[in-house]
Amino acid sequence: MSTHAIPPGADETYRRYLSAVMLHGHAGAKACGLGATDLYALNALELCGPMTPGELGARTGLTTGPTTRLVDRLEEAGYVRRAPSPDDRRKVIVEPVGKPAGLDEAMAPARRRIGELLGGYTPEQLEVLFDYFARAADAYQAAAEQLRDRDAA
């Protein structure tokens, strides 16, 4: 843990940031005719590649039944397909095959604003920011898994 002093109000600022990111994700999903979990699942598939429904459920925090319905919705909309696992024919893999029409258009204003914001940082500052993003993503993923394991016990 760092011994650097955290500025006053940092906790509230960070929570406000996380809330704004979540709100934007919900608004972006709605603009594309999706639920937030559906868009989150498509993002997970795009970032991590094809995975089993169980792995997708773990990534989205859904149990078996809701994960099946999620994959059904995404498959019916043409965004994913179920394919036999190359390693085990008894398993199914969920593969991304498309993305929602209008997604890039819906996300463009935020991407533009964030791009302008990032343009005000030096290369060294950007390196620190993106180092933080990478480490924070890992930390949040590990914490989510720890909570999930605790709840399963």
pLDDT tens string 126-137: 999 999 999 999
Q: What is the pLDDT of residues 82-128, one digit of tens each?
A: 999 888 888 999 999 988 888 889 999 999 999 999 999 999 999 99
20-100 has which fold?
Answer: Arc Repressor Mutant, subunit A (1.10.10)
Mean pLDDT computed over every residue of the chain: 91
* Cross-strand bridge partners of residue 93: 83
pLDDT of 2 higher than 80: no
pLDDT of 64 higher than 60: yes
Domain boundaries, the chain: 20-100, 102-148
Q: What is the pLDDT of residues 7-32, one digit of tens each?
A: 889 999 999 999 999 999 999 999 98
What pLDDT, on a 0 to 100 scale, did the predictor assign at position 5? 82
For the chain, percent of residues with pLDDT exceeding 70: 98
What is the per-residue DSSP string for 75-116? HHTTSEEEEE-SS-TTSEEEEE----TTHHHHHHHHHHHHHH
DSSP 119: T
What pLDDT, on a 0 to 100 scale, did the predictor assign at position 115? 96
What pLDDT, on a 0 to 100 scale, did the predictor assign at position 4? 78
